[in-house]
Amino acid sequence: MKEAKNELMQFVAGVIMLVVGLYILSQKVMVSSSYGFFSLWGGRFSSGLIMVPLIIGIVWMFATGGSFVSKVFTVLSVILIIASIVASTRIWLVSITMYEWVLILVLIFGGAGLVAKVLFANNKSEKSKKDKTEQTGSYTSSIEDELDQIKKNMK
């Protein structure tokens, strides 16, 4: 039972560290987008021009009764719109000290490490119990298992 509490505390501490690190990082990042013209695969397009394929796809879909090709064309035009939004977004870090940067990295990756340790350590402990059971033949992990074993031997 003590291991479960320790794992729970490690998991909670890891999540708190991860959240605090991501919060501090989000406060140090600037995001902007350029409205108007954007460049995608070397071509420059206006923001309104990117809506033309979506309009064509919607009209085509309603005119043909929702054929498969019209649906694919509409979905591809939505993907193109999302790609244009992502392509026109600029993300950069503001000027921060080395101490702040190291603190952010330790909180994010330390917290992620603690969470991963707890999530993936369970499989390892179950595997080691299974290996011990195969080696010794009768491995009891708790008092209830031991009592059940004694009851079986009495009958």
128-142 confidence digits (pLDDT tens): 555 555 555 555 467
Interior angle at CA 31, CA 29 and CA 34, nearest 5: 160
Res. 101 pLDDT band, cuts 50 70 90: very high
Domain that holds residue 110: 2-154
Residues 30 and 69: their CA atoms lie apart, in Å, by 40
Residues 23 and 19: their CA atoms lie apart, in Å, by 6
**Token reading at 110:** 């330390």
Is the per-residue pLDDT at 56 higher than 50?
Answer: yes
Q: Which of 61-65, 89-93, 148-152 has the highest mean pLDDT?
A: 61-65
Which of the pair, 22 or 7, is modelled with greater confidence? Answer: 22
**Token reading at 2:** 């003590």
Res. 112 pLDDT band, cuts 50 70 90: very high
Q: Look at the chain and report how many structural domains it folds into.
A: 1
Is the per-residue pLDDT at 81 higher than 90?
Answer: no
Across the range 114-133, mean pLDDT stands at 68
User: CA torsion, points 99, 102, 87, 41, in degrees to nearest 10?
Assistant: 110
pTM (2 decimals)?
Answer: 0.52
By CB neighbour count within 10 A (0-12 exposed, 13-18 middle, 19+ buried), where does 107 fall?
buried
Residue 6, pLDDT score: 84
Res. 99 pLDDT band, cuts 50 70 90: very high
Interior angle at CA 125, CA 18 and CA 7, nearest 5: 35
By CB neighbour count within 10 A (0-12 exposed, 13-18 middle, 19+ buried), where does 11 fall?
middle
